[in-house]
Amino acid sequence: MKKVTIDQLEEGMKLARDVFTENGKLLLPEGFIIKPSFIQKLREHNIDSVYVEDENVENYVKEEIIYHETFVAIQDLMLSAKAGEIVDPFVAKEIVNDIVAQIIEEEDVFLRIVGFRDVDNYTYFHSVDVSIFAAIIGKLLELDRKQIEDLALAALLHDFGKMKIPHEILNKPAKLTDEEFEEMKKHTIYGYQIVKNMDGVSEQIAEVALLHHERLDGSGYPLKLKGDKIPLFARIVAIADVYDAITADRVYKKKIVPTKAADYLTKYAGIHFDKDIVQKFLKMVVKYPVGCFVVLNTGEIAIVYEENPFNKTKPIVKVVARKEGPPVLIPYFVDLSQDPKREIIDVINY
């Protein structure tokens, strides 16, 4: 670690300590990678020096850095909102633009990262993952870059209102009562009120916080909008939100595997969710990459050996062990597309 002046600060350096404004507000968190816009922001706040790491940023995987930075940024923003402080989305905008740049170059670059989270920080990780999924959908729908950046930011901020929900409701390890659920639903209104007052955030972005629980058949909330009355961004985030939520461990339920999540979205496509968006999204995201470990309904543990180009939920796997019973002495291959009795029920390393 070393101290450098702003004039010595260069793009690609990694912050070794948090940087605060004169009034004690966190400006840039430890671990962030310096970019020109950050240097300009430091100058605006009259910061004359910062601490950076000695090691070169090239030693890190770029998408992992971006993912971590996005998590830290949304955590800081949400905690500021919870404390009733003014929320400055500058850092979040910059990081989201990095996510979009990576996804435009390669759609599935973040798919090996999303889903790794701890229950205590679920809301923050969920926001990051939904932003990534929404950006992927935006690219699949051939939106222009500015639209995808706005969409990804809207998705990142979609659950801001949860910071105004009592902790005992937000993290209750059991089903909510009717009264508690009514309070939980207010997070859409709280979120809209917070996001619309952020500097430089458009109404199109803010309304996603309000409308991401609306459903095509009018069964959603808070306005019970139907069909095309629900804006495109909200329809996209609704799908990304549900997919990520049901494939994650929560305080009150266990996750389900991507194929089961796909079944759920497909079942309600055209009813709750935009059918065209669901189909495009699932074709991209529901797959088991070569090398990941999976558990079959037979109790067998296998490694994905080869993807099936015609059905990415039914790869060729190599069985290497069993949860119970005799060990597997010689690994054997199974083509899940040709074996209706076997299916993937869990992912050990995705």
CA distance 280 to 268: 15
- Which class would CATH give 2-52? alpha beta
What is the residue whose two structure tokens read 């633009």?
Answer: 97
* pLDDT at position 128: 92
pLDDT at position 350? 43
Structure tokens at 103: 């996804």
pLDDT, residue 121, reads 75
CB-based burial of residue 6 (10 Å sphere; 0-12 exposed, 13-18 middle, 19+ buried)? middle
Amino acid at site 345: I
CATH of 61-284 given 1.50.10.150, 1.10.3210.10, 1.20.1260.10, 3.40.640.10: 1.10.3210.10
Which among 141, 221, 138, 148 has a CA at the least distance from the CA of 181?
Answer: 221
Residue boundaries of the structural domains of the chain: 2-52, 61-284, 292-348
- Model's pTM, two decimal places? 0.79
Residue by residue, pLDDT tens for the chain (350 residues) are 888 899 888 888 888 888 888 877 778 878 788 888 888 888 988 888 998 887 655 555 678 788 888 888 888 888 888 888 878 888 889 889 999 999 998 887 887 677 655 555 778 889 999 999 999 999 999 999 999 999 999 999 999 999 999 989 988 888 899 999 999 999 999 999 999 999 889 999 999 999 999 999 999 999 999 999 999 999 999 999 999 999 887 666 777 878 788 889 999 999 999 999 998 998 888 777 788 888 999 999 999 999 887 777 789 999 999 988 888 889 999 999 999 899 888 877 54
Q: How far apart are CA 213 and CA 230, in angstroms?
A: 10
Q: Is 349 helix (H, G, I), strand (E, B) or coil?
A: strand
CB 254 within 8 A of CB 247: no
Q: In the prediction, which pLDDT does 251 show?
A: 62
Pair of tokens at residue 88: 């400055």
Q: Which two tokens stand for residue 322?
A: 């069993």
Contact 149, 132 (CB under 8 A): no
Question: Do 285 and 136 contact (CB within 8 A), yes or no?
Answer: yes
Q: What is the DSSP letter of 33?
A: B
Angle, vertex CA 137, rays to CA 248 and CA 306, nearest 5: 65
> Residue 35: what pLDDT?
82
Q: What is the residue-wise DSSP string for 151-186?
A: HHHHHHTTTGGGGGS-HHHHT-SSPPPHHHHHHHHT
